[in-house]
């Protein structure tokens, strides 16, 4: 059932065409993003390309319904440019969060994910689930 919820949730996050975003203050470093996610499971950087298309409250409601801890970060393309790829951003943020969690990132127009140990997911499995 948990995997089904994750499978249903992640494609929805991939679409991210909802209105009514609640952008957060700019903070692109993985440590800053992870810190923000520890306080609020959905982080939308105000200058992210998709910031105006994300309904952060709706995404927050969806991730809160999961039996897994899921964090979602919507970041500008420059985050991937500075680290090399969206996947590297997801991994870097996942390394900074505490406890078992799945970190989903939308960087520019690319969505991917990474998981920490203790989630029951194998390396690369979270990213595969997001990409379908």
Euclidean distance between CA atoms 37 and 125, whole angstroms: 21
pLDDT tens digits for range 57-108: 999 999 999 888 999 999 999 998 888 899 999 999 999 999 999 999 999 9
Q: How many CB atoms lie within 10 A of CB 10?
A: 24
Q: How confident is the model at residue 7 (pLDDT cuts 50, 70, 90)?
A: very low
């Amino acid at each position: 059932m948990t995997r089904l919820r994750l499978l249903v949730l992640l494609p929805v996050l991939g679409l991210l065409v909802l209105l009514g975003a609640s952008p957060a203050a700019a903070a692109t470093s993985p440590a800053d993003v992870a810190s923000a996610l520890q306080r609020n499971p959905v982080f939308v950087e105000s200058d992210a390309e998709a910031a105006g298309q994300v309904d952060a409250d709706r995404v927050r409601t969806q991730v809160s319904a999961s039996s897994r801890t899921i964090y979602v970060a919507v970041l500008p393309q420059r985050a991937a440019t500075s680290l090399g790829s969206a996947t590297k951003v997801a991994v870097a943020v996942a390394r900074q969060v505490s406890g078992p969690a799945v970190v989903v990132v939308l960087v520019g127009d690319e969505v991917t994910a990474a998981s920490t140990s203790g989630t029951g997911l194998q390396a690369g499995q979270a990213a595969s689930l997001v990409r379908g």
